[in-house]
Amino acid sequence: MTYTIHVENDTQETVDNIELWDTLPGAMTYNGSSNTVQPAVDGNYLSWDVTIDPQTGQPFLLGPGKSFNIEFTVVINDVDPSVLPLSNMVGIDYNDPAYTPAIGKHPPLFSQDSFYPIGDPVVYPNPYNVDSVLPLIFDDIVPGSLIQIYTLSGELVAAIQAPTIKTTWNGRNENNRKVSPGIYYFIIHNQASGQVKKGKLFVINGN
């Protein structure tokens, strides 16, 4: 998996002496970076020293409205689904005119949490044959997410708590009856991030 750290100066002052750090979740292993600035790696702790511009050898200055990206890849090891989703965030500190080296850096800032899996659902087979012995599969779901299936008129058909990345639906409603052929909507609520994903299901019948 590839992470991209986007650093942007949204102030009216030039900042310098930039340092970033990231403690990867235990299930991840650092796998390299194509950036000019390489991280110092200590186990799962990564740190980037961006105090010097590698092209000029001069102090690196990030002016107002300027930005840069750092990309790196990780390998996700075998992981117990019960510990998913994995969350990760990056910290940064720097100097600006209000925080000089004499009195210390600006208090650290942190990114938003980034989650794996990201919860871009794959739903198959779609159309789904409700008379099939095979279930409908929801894949790449953040564990703990709530999946709700609705009719076009907004009636709740089924609610499923996803225990792992992959979960299934048997085409039955909350009264354990097969649903009728037609178009349905699904809504996936990521309980960890608050993110909501929506999509359509097409249900058919017959062998």
Q: Are residues 43 and 139 in the same domain?
A: no
Whole-number pLDDT of residue 74: 95
Q: What is the pLDDT of residue 82?
A: 67
The pLDDT assigned to 1 comes to 84
15 plus 92 within the same structural domain: yes
Give residue 15's pLDDT: 93
Instruction: Single out the residue in 62, 89, 116 at which a domain terminates.
Output: 116
pLDDT in single tens digits along all 207 residues of the chain: 899 999 999 999 999 999 999 999 988 999 999 888 999 999 999 999 999 998 899 999 999 999 999 999 999 887 776 677 788 999 999 998 887 666 778 889 999 888 777 667 889 999 999 998 899 999 888 888 899 999 999 999 999 998 888 899 999 999 999 999 999 999 999 887 788 999 999 999 876
51 shares a domain with 97: yes
Rg (CA), the chain: 23
**Cβ pair 147, 167 in contact under 8 A:** yes
Output the pTM of the full model: 0.65
CATH number at residue 79: 2.60.40.740
CB 46 within 8 A of CB 72: yes
DSSP result, 3-38: EEEEEE--SSS-EEEEEEEEE--TTEEEEE--SSSP
Q: Check: CB of residue 106 under 8 Å from CB of residue 99.
A: yes
Structural domain harbouring 180: 122-204
Ordered DSSP codes for 146-193:
EEEEEETT--EEEEEE--SS-EEE-SB-TTS-BPPSEEEEEEEE-TTT
CATH number of the domain encompassing residue 184: 2.60.40.4070
Task: Please tell me whether residues 8 and 104 are part of one structural domain.
Answer: yes
Predicted confidence at residue 22, as pLDDT, reads 97
Last residue of a domain, one of 92, 116, 140: 116
Claim to verify: residue 26 and residue 109 sit in the same structural domain? yes
- pLDDT digit string, tens, across residues 64-76: 999 999 999 999 8
Task: Domain count for the chain, please give it.
Answer: 2
> Cα-flanking dihedrals φ and ψ of residue 82, to 5°?
-70, -20
